[in-house]
Amino acid sequence: MTSLSYDQIQFLRGEIAPLIEFQNFICISNIDERKFVVEFSKDSLLLCFQEPFLRFHLTKMGKQNHISCFSQLINQTLSGINLKNFEILNQDRILQFTFQSGKDIFFFIGEFFQKKPNFYFLNAEKKILISLNPVKHDFYQLPEQTKTFKPNSKQEISEIFNSQSIEKFYREKEIALAFEKKKIEITAKTNTAIKRLEKIKKTFENNLKKCLEWEKKQHEATLLQANFLSLKKGMNQIRVVDWQLDNNEIIVSLNPALSPKDEIKKRFKEAKKLKVGIQHQEKQLLEIADQLELKTKELQKIELTRTLKELFTLFPETKPKDKNQEINLPYRQYKSKTGFHILVGKNSSSNDALTFKYAKGYDLWLHVKDYPGSHVVIKTSKGKIVDKETIDDAVQLAIFYSKAKNFSSAEICLTEKKYVSRFGKSKEGKVQISKQKIIHAKVDPERFKSLKTH
């Protein structure tokens, strides 16, 4: 079993709801991009939308070091608000968390489907404020009712019957999967290194073979020296008697551009160089043989490993530096002086991902006019006015992450993301804008420095 069935979800909801309902929301943070810890005033809940181990359960884990843009928006809105209800929707694998403070109502919707699981944050009208996966609609719509799951056997439910055993079960599964992935990754890298070494070895073997022909090259020079008077510049070849072959005649090829003296000198020089090269090529081959032996032994050791700990002991450089290390998102995160989150693309591919995967149609979008640079997105909600201070902050980010940063001023395109479209399928990061406003701005290094990354 990988993901929870409807009956197991129903069983877990019955365990968790009485504990977390009417607690205040404290914070949501990220274990990774699709795995969250939701802290309430007394308990914490883990929500995982990462295939193949979709799940939710109570957890002893606290706030994580990383808070994504998705989590930041929720924290801004929900801090201190009470969880009024936790229920299952549509008799399916859909969970709804209802938060309320006075007239303000918000929802978490978690779809734990094996295909395209998603996590939504909604307002009272069920308008989607943010979602884990991009969606086409502005308002949340329940998916068409899938086949209602019949309860599994009591034996299956009893095998994983509460949050504690669920957490242990999936933790073991995730560790096993992480081990297999890391083992495959290290094995592939080692095999690649072996192939590279074998290719280098072949090159050195060919070089050694050429070096071992130094005597032939020197003998040809000696033959030419013995027939010096018969040589003339412009000749392509000469027939000479070879005393090493019982005085039989052989043909020696010549360079017509060289004088007889230079031809002989060149051949003696080449012979000497080849002779000296023998030792170097042999030394290189010995070193390559040692490296190949080492890598072959590494492969054997990898095959015998059974745990991540063993792998990291063998290859300490592959061990994550921090279990809560920041997720490698395709953008930098900043916060404006008034609290808006500003996202800045890192390169052409991340620009494309930021604009067309992470940005919503109503988010503000900026880019320096006429210069290569990062896409900049101000995260907001539909109808919410973004203040001038935030726009000025985003303008400086657009300038400093572009080729325009070396000038005293620049022009910046400002529009809503919905007016931005791709310019050609093969041109990653290239866009066209159907509606925009041009802002003229001076470069302000102090304002840029004052912006804090998150």
Residue 134 in tokens: 């991009």
pLDDT above 90 for 329: no
Together in a domain, 25 and 132 = yes
Q: What is the mean pLDDT of the chain?
A: 88
Q: Are residues 349 and 404 in the same domain?
A: yes
Is 420 inside a domain boundary?
yes
Residue 226 domain-assigned (yes or no): yes
Cβ pair 341, 72 in contact under 8 A: yes
DSSP-based three-state secondary structure for 313:
helix
CA-wise closest residue to 38 among 101, 86, 105 = 86
Handedness of CA 56, 62, 65, 68 (dihedral sign): positive
Per-residue pLDDT band for 328 (boundaries 50, 70, 90) equals low
Let me know if residue 253 belongs to a domain: yes
The string of pLDDT tens digits covering residues 182-205 is 999 999 999 999 999 999 999 999
Which stretches of 212-230 are DSSP H helices? Answer: 214-226
- What are 359-394's pLDDT values in tens digits? 889 999 999 998 899 999 999 887 889 999 999 999
The answer, yes or no, to whether residue 79 has pLDDT greater than 90, is no
| 8-state DSSP, 139 | B
Contact, 292 vs 413, CB < 8 A? no
- Would you say residue 312 lies in a domain? yes
- pLDDT, residue 296, reads 95
Same domain, 232 and 293: yes
Paired tokens of 354: 């930021």
pLDDT for 64:
81
Are 112 and 3 in contact by the 8 Å Cβ rule? The answer is yes
Q: Establish if 176 belongs to a structural domain.
A: no
Dihedral over alpha carbons 129, 131, 134, 137 (to 10 degrees) = -50
Q: Which residues span the domain enclosing 211?
A: 185-318
pLDDT in tens, 410-443: 999 999 999 999 887 666 778 999 999 999 999 9
Q: Could you tell me if 194 and 237 lie in one domain?
A: yes
Do 453 and 334 touch, CB atoms closer than 8 A? yes
Domain assignment of residue 324, yes or no = no
In a domain, 407, yes or no: yes
C-alpha distances (whole Å) from 375 to each of 353, 372, 385, 401, 419 are 10, 10, 20, 9, 14
3-state secondary structure 402-417: EHHHHCCEEEEEEEEH
Is 145 found in the same domain as 11? yes
User: Other C-beta atoms within 10 Å of 116: how many?
Assistant: 10
Token match 């052409």: residue? 348
Lowest mean pLDDT among 75-79, 298-302, 344-348, 381-385: 381-385
pLDDT-derived band at 157, boundaries 50, 70, 90: very low
Of 271, 292, 318, the residue that ends a domain is 318
The share of the chain scoring above pLDDT 90, in percent, equals 62
Burial string for 10-26 (b: 16+ CB within 10 Å, else e) reads bbbeeebeeebbeebbb
pLDDT value for 322: 54
The predicted-structure confidence for 138-148, as pLDDT tens digits, reads as follows 999 998 765 44
Residues 85 and 123 in one domain: yes
| Average pLDDT rounded to a whole number, residues 280-287 | 93
* Residue 71: closest CA among 31, 20, 113, 105: 31
Same domain, 244 and 281: yes
In a domain, residue 256? The reply is: yes
Quote the tokens at residue 82.
Answer: 């009470």
* Kind of pairing between the strands at 364-368 and 341-345: unpaired
Give the pair of three-digit tokens for residue 159: 């095998």
Confidence (pLDDT) at 321: 60
Quick check: 121 pLDDT over 80?
yes
User: 366 and 285, same structural domain?
Assistant: no
How does residue 320 score in pLDDT terms, banded at 50, 70 and 90? low
Statement: residue 325 has pLDDT above 90 = no
Tokens describing residue 310 = 């063993």
Question: What is the structure's pLDDT at 62?
Answer: 80
Whole-angstrom distance, CA of residue 205 vs CA of residue 284: 10
Cα distances from 330 to residues 34, 346, 352, 381, in angstroms, run 15, 6, 9, 21
Q: What is the pLDDT of residue 152?
A: 45
**For 46-73, what is the mean pLDDT?**
88
Structurally, the chain folds into a number of domains equal to 3
CB atoms < 10 A from the CB of 224, how many? Answer: 20
Q: Are 313 and 373 members of one domain?
A: no
State the virtual CA torsion across 192, 195, 196, 202 in degrees, nearest 10. 180
Question: pLDDT confidence of 218, banded at 50, 70, 90?
Answer: very high
Domain shared by 203 and 76, yes or no: no
What CATH number does residue 118 fall under? 2.30.310.10
β pairing state of 35-40 and 409-416? unpaired
* pLDDT at residue 155, rounded to an integer: 38
- Please state the rounded mean pLDDT for residues 214-240: 95
Longest dimension (CA), the chain: 112
Is a pLDDT exceeding 60 seen at residue 150? no
Q: Give the burial class of 438: count Cβ atoms within 10 A of its Cβ; 0-12 exposed, 13-18 middle, 19 or more buried.
A: exposed
Last residue of a domain, one of 271, 290, 318: 318
End position of a domain, from candidates 293, 318, 343: 318
Task: Count how many Cα atoms sit within 13 Å of the Cα of residue 270 in the half-sphere of its side chain.
Answer: 17
Q: Which neighbouring-strand residues pair with 333?
A: 343
Q: Assess whether 199 and 258 both reside in one domain.
A: yes
Under 8 Å CB-to-CB from 166, ≥6 apart: which residues? 12, 55, 57, 160
Residue 141 Rama label (left phi>0; alpha psi -120 to 50; beta): beta
Same domain, 234 and 339: no
Q: Is the pLDDT reported for residue 248 higher than 70?
A: yes
